[in-house]
């Protein structure tokens, strides 16, 4: 486990509000309990519960959002989530979040995202490269103080953002998110994710916004096949997104389509097992896709909600599927090819992995 912790890793499927430390969630719940907004003991039980169905997970997210959706807290959780990933040697993080509007506290989707960017700026435990430009429009190169390769002990993490469209949203709301992503490109927003409760909403509702996003040069990743929905899975694959997440309820036809398209899959082992989307780890489609050399990346999904870390996900894959140090290292390294950031970042990451390869015994 130690070598998996120290190995550089790339995280491409992490939801901000799913990645919050339990201690932070409990602290926030306690505060709201004191204010009489919630009953702390009820909420404490829900936060600490381990096994949840997919349906219960989305109920938990509604609760988490009550605890976290004010500007100050959004900034705090962003900072903590980034520092937590960096602490286990995640060197590149694509963090996704759903911009939220809450008129009662003067929050717009834009101000929510500004609070996220504030959180990136507040990161202090590690060095961070989060955007091609600073808030004032100047390049941020001067804020990159240390380099993981030059022998300094301070860790460095590259962070880029994806804006999520929640499946509960209308076409107009989805379009608003895409427009916001375009406005915020200079703050490291690279693409759009479609997520949320998979039994809610229709593909046709989101398609216009996703097509617009693509036309405008944003990259797209879709939660695909979290529930059995053959028609939607096929429509999503025909859309040819840059990546898909989960890919659980595929049948032969969809596997064929996926493999011939070579669309990289974000694999979230613990999430799939905890939510019973896959009945047992040893029959997880990771094994088949890995054997077929299909592009794959191991991810956490919601490290807070599922009490996991990226190192634990690598450990689970290694122990379940009998993969050794070198194979796990290669798996981590190939993920660099599937990131949404530009070639400059890819080259930096390759440098980090090449250096780490020399230390691998």
φ, ψ for residue 266, nearest 5 deg: -85, 115
Q: How far apart, in whole angstroms, are the C-alpha atoms of residue 223 and residue 235?
A: 12
Q: Among 226, 254, 266, 313, which one carries the catalytic annotation?
A: 226
Closest approach of ligand 6MZ to the CB of residue 7, in Å: 25
- Binding residues for ligand 6MZ (CB under 6 A): 15-18, 57, 61, 97-98, 164, 166, 195-196, 223, 226, 271, 275, 301-302
**Whole-number minimum distance, CB 330 to ligand 6MZ, in Å?**
27
User: CB-wise, 107 or 328, nearer to ligand 6MZ?
Assistant: 107
CB 330 within 8 A of CB 357: no
Contact 233, 254 (CB under 8 A): yes
Region of 262 on the Ramachandran plot (φ > 0 left; ψ -120 to 50 alpha; else beta):
left
* Least distance between ligand 6MZ and beta carbon 99 (Å): 8
Cβ proximity to ligand 6MZ: between 109 and 333 the closer is: 109
Q: Which residues contact 173 (CB under 8 A, 6 or more apart)?
A: 165
Q: Give strand pairing partners of 342.
A: none
226 is an active site residue: yes
CB 190 within 8 A of CB 340: yes
Taking the mean position of all CA atoms in its chain, how far away is CA 195?
11
- Which lies closer to ligand 6MZ via its Cβ, residue 20 or residue 332? 20
Residue 276: its H or E element: none
Separation of alpha carbons 34 and 70, rounded Å: 17
In the complex with ligand 6MZ, the residue whose CB is nearer, 89 or 275, is 275
Pairing of strands 296-298, 265-267: parallel
Question: Cβ closer to ligand 6MZ: 275 or 308?
Answer: 275
CB of 154 to ligand 6MZ, least distance (A): 27
Give the Cα separation of 177 and 152 in Å (integer): 39
Question: Minimal distance in Å, beta carbon 96 to ligand 6MZ?
Answer: 6
Helix (H, G, I), strand (E, B) or coil at 12: strand
Is 243 in a helix, a strand, or coil?
Answer: strand
| Closer CB to ligand 6MZ, 57 or 107, in the complex | 57
Instruction: For the CB of residue 281, give the shortest distance to ligand 6MZ in the complex, in Å.
Output: 16
The catalytic residue positions are 226
């Amino acid at each position: 486990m130690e070598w998996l912790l120290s190995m550089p890793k790339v995280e491409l499927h992490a939801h901000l509000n799913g990645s919050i430390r339990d201690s932070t969630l409990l602290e926030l719940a306690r505060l709201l309990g004191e204010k009489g907004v919630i009953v702390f003991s009820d909420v404490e039980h829900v936060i600490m519960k381990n096994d949840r169905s997919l349906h219960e997970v989305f109920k938990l997210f509604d609760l988490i959002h009550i605890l976290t959706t004010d500007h100050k807290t959004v900034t705090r959780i962003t900072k903590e989530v980034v520092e937590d990933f960096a602490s286990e040697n995640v060197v590149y993080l694509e963090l996704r979040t759903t911009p939220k509007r809450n008129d009662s506290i003067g929050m717009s989707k834009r101000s929510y995202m500004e609070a996220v960017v504030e959180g990136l700026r507040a990161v202090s435990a590690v060095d961070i490269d989060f955007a091609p430009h600073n808030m004032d429009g100047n390049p941020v190169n001067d804020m990159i103080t240390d380099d993981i390769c030059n022998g300094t002990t301070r860790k460095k993490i590259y962070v880029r953002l994806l804006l999520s469209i929640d499946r509960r949203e209308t076409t107009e709301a989805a379009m608003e998110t895409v427009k916001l992503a375009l406005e915020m490109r200079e703050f490291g927003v690279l693409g759009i994710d479609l997520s949320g409760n998979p039994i809610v909403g229709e593909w046709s509702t989101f398609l216009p916004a996703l097509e617009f996003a693509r036309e405008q040069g944003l990259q797209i990743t879709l939660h695909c096949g979290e529930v059995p929905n053959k028609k939607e899975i096929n429509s999503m694959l025909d859309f040819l997104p840059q990546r898909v997440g989960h890919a659980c309820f595929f049948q032969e036809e969809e596997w064929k389509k996926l493999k011939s398209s070579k669309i990289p899959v974000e694999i979230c082992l613990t999430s799939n097992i905890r939510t019973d989307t896959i009945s047992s780890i040893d029959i997880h489609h990771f094994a088949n896709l890995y054997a077929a050399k299909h592009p794959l990346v191991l991810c956490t999904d919601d490290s807070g909600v599922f009490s996991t870390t990226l190192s634990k996900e690598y450990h689970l894959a290694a122990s379940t599927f009998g993969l050794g140090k070198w194979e796990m290292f290669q798996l981590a390294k190939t993920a660099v090819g599937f990131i949404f950031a530009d070639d400059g970042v890819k080259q930096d990451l390759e440098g980090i992995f090449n250096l780490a390869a020399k230390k691998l015994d």
